[in-house]
């Protein structure tokens, strides 16, 4: 008696949401490694094991995938920063320390995401740049600085400017620390807070330039 050959089991296929998640992870990794311009649609599709039309079906192209990746990273970082800044801390320095640690934690645990955020946005895209991210995070700490400024009899209207400076002061050294790792994360945060807090402590109510700029 002869037996018919066994039918091969059908290949497991990803659902739409599973494929979308896979493409996001592949894009995230490639964008972090090569940047937006250095990453091609062909490379994303080949790495994910799909055809280019699949990528276009889910995201409309490389730009759409990049926008989703960036938005996810921004939301993740802003979520960590907001959580740190809304904890019940009675002292402004404690909040500053929490914010510094939250940003460094993100840099450490989401290295690919941070590398994507610090790169320039692709041409024609107004959101997702490092500058816009800094602005978004700074808006979270403005009210904290404004309250501290009022307590110290400083002009609270300047709080947004100082918020931008403080967040940038943490973010830029954070990139240096990511590449060098010469110091412990907690030590980096401590030095950043040291400069920021002691700088705030000695601020003048109405600062002016001590030397007049030369006119050309």
Tell whether the model's pLDDT for residue 133 goes beyond 60.
yes
* Mean pLDDT of the region 168-191: 87
Structure tokens at 33: 């490694």
d(CA 147, CA 161): 14
Helix (H, G, I), strand (E, B) or coil at 204: coil
Distance CA 144, CA 157 (A): 12
Burial string for 124-154 (b: 16+ CB within 10 Å, else e) reads eeeebbbebbbebbbebbbebbbebbeeeeb
54-100 pLDDT, tens digit per residue, is 999 999 999 999 999 988 988 888 888 878 877 766 677 887 888 88
Would you say the C-alpha torsion 45, 48, 49, 51 has a positive or negative sign? Answer: negative
* 122: confidence class by pLDDT, cuts 50, 70, 90: low
Dihedral in degrees, nearest 10, Cα atoms 71, 28, 116, 191 = 90
Question: Considering only CA atoms, which of 170, 96, 87 is closest in space to residue 133?
Answer: 170
pLDDT over threshold 80, residue 213: no
């Amino acid at each position: 008696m002869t037996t018919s050959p066994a039918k091969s089991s059908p290949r497991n296929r990803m659902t739409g949401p599973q494929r979308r998640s896979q493409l996001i992870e592949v894009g995230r990794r490639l964008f972090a490694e090569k940047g937006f311009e250095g990453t091609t649609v062909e490379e994303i599709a080949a790495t994910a094991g799909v055809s280019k039309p699949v990528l276009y079906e889910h995201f409309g192209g490389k730009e759409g995938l990049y926008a989703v990746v960036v938005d996810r990273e921004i939301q993740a970082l802003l979520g960590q920063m907001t959580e740190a800044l809304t904890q019940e801390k009675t002292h402004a320095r404690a909040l500053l320390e929490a914010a510094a640690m939250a940003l460094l934690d993100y840099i450490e645990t989401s290295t690919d995401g941070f590398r994507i955020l610090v790169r320039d946005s692709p041409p024609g895209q107004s959101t997702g740049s490092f500058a816009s991210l800094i602005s978004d995070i700074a808006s979270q700490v403005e009210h904290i600085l404004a309250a501290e400024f009022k307590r110290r009899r400083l002009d609270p209207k300047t709080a947004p400017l100082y918020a931008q400076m403080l967040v940038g002061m943490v973010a830029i050294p954070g990139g240096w620390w990511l590449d060098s790792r010469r110091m412990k994360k907690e030590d980096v945060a401590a030095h950043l807070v040291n400069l920021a807090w002691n700088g705030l402590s000695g601020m003048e109510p109405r600062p002016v330039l001590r030397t007049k700029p030369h006119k050309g």
